[in-house]
Amino acid sequence: MKPSRPLNLRDSAIVLALLGVCLFFSLAEPRFLEARNLTLLFTELAISGTLAMGMLLVILPGHIDLSVGSGLALMGGLATVLTARAGWPSSLAMAAATACSILLWWGMGRLVVLARIPAFIVTLAGMLVFRGLFWLVIQNQTIAVVAGGQRNAYSQLSTLYLSPTQGLVLASLLSFVLIGSSLLQSRSRQGQPPEFADREFHFLRAFVSAQALTLLVLVTNQFRGLPLPLVIFASVSVLVHCLIAHTPWGRHLYAIGGNPEAALLSGIAVNRVVLGAFALLGGLVALTGLMLTSYTGNSTTDLGEWMELDAVAACVIGGVSLRGGRGSVAGVLAGALIMATLLSGMTLMSITPEHKLIARGLVLLAAVGLDVRLSRPHS
């Protein structure tokens, strides 16, 4: 029996692309491998990666969302105004923005599944509406997250760092979880003992992951410590992985993306599953908006621009099919890491914004082309 999840050509291409990007920037800009830059890179990865995890949930059943960039700006701006201008407690303002986001995305999901309007059109309209509402909320001004110089939970959401000891303890706990999960996955579906090759593959994957976690913590400890957004992102990734890989709801997402008619005929509540995916995306959009606004320190008119494209690019680079039915959290994580590394390296090299957009577009196009080529049946 072969390993249940062997590395294929697509996986190898992602790994090689990531190593190639890192090698290029480390040679072109020595500051790229400094602890400070890597810590900031991981913080930016956490913010964009959280949004990409939400995007994965709606792409799996065959949909897409173009409104997330404007939506996260609106939710971040709403929480900022409630905190800085209306005097709300920061925790209550963040909760209100999250609840509002979940409700809005649930409403868009209803338009998609009940009114049968394509998600592309619904979310394209949402992108325009949310951006306009965002400008109205902040009144086309730049509003600081911290009012009167007083820090709060909102302002610390993306600026808090774990101590070195806390980071190492957390990495150890996650390593044990990874090893335990891999041992469980090494069991065969029939309940028979796994063969040696299967056990070896899962152990090697868990061991490498544990080493990567430890190295990450050691690097960030050389700057200020493990960033809180990275902890949040890790929690979101684990949650999304458990939902799509270990629950009936997650299996239904794959089934709907693979063949919606067959899923409906097999008794799957297609509308309810897709509505749940949009509602969860709404929650992650709010979380991303709160982290991004906290990270930048203010709500300004261009907040969140192009982030919907980065989220889609992370999914496509990570092997998620835009037709639905195929994708994984690990792939999205790799895709988000490639995009974050690319942006961080170009920023260090003082690449102009227009050239950054060109590079991001070319990377997305190359990823889609590779995906189409690898998905084409061989004769």
In the chain, domain spans: 9-163+225-372
The position carrying tokens 């709403």 is 78
Residue 32's alpha-carbon distances to 2, 37, 38, 48, 352, in angstroms, are 39, 6, 7, 19, 17
The reported pLDDT for the residue numbered 177 is 75
Q: Which are the contacts of 286, defined by CB distance < 8 A and separation ≥ 6?
A: 72, 75, 94, 97, 98, 100, 101, 102
* pTM for this prediction: 0.91
| pLDDT of residue 199 exceeding 80 | no
Q: How far apart are CA 118 and CA 220, in angstroms?
A: 43
| pLDDT of residue 197 exceeding 60 | no
Of 8-12, 39-43, 183-187, 375-379, where does mean pLDDT reach its minimum? 375-379
Question: How high is the mean pLDDT of the chain?
Answer: 88
Q: Tell me: the pLDDT tens digits for 49-63?
A: 999 999 999 999 999
The greatest distance separating any two alpha carbons of the chain, rounded to the nearest whole angstrom, comes to 67
Mean pLDDT over residues 102-124, rounded?
Answer: 96
Closest to 160 measured CA to CA, from 43, 73, 72, 76 = 43
| pLDDT of residue 374 exceeding 50 | yes
Of 152-166, 176-190, 283-297, where does mean pLDDT reach its minimum? 176-190
Mean pLDDT over residues 110-131, rounded?
Answer: 96
Of 66-75, 134-143, 145-154, 213-222, where does mean pLDDT reach its minimum? 145-154
Mean pLDDT over residues 173-193, rounded?
Answer: 64
| pLDDT of residue 14 exceeding 60 | yes
Fold category of 9-163+225-372 in CATH: ABC transporter involved in vitamin B12 uptake, BtuC (1.10.3470)
Mean pLDDT over residues 306-312, rounded?
Answer: 92
The reported pLDDT for the residue numbered 369 is 79
Q: How far apart are CA 232 and CA 243, in angstroms?
A: 16
Q: How far apart are CA 220 and CA 223, in angstroms?
A: 5
The reported pLDDT for the residue numbered 179 is 72
The reported pLDDT for the residue numbered 156 is 86
Mean pLDDT over residues 344-348, rounded?
Answer: 93
The reported pLDDT for the residue numbered 183 is 66
Q: Which are the contacts of 281, defined by CB distance < 8 A and separation ≥ 6?
A: 54, 55, 57, 58, 65, 68, 105
| pLDDT of residue 192 exceeding 80 | no
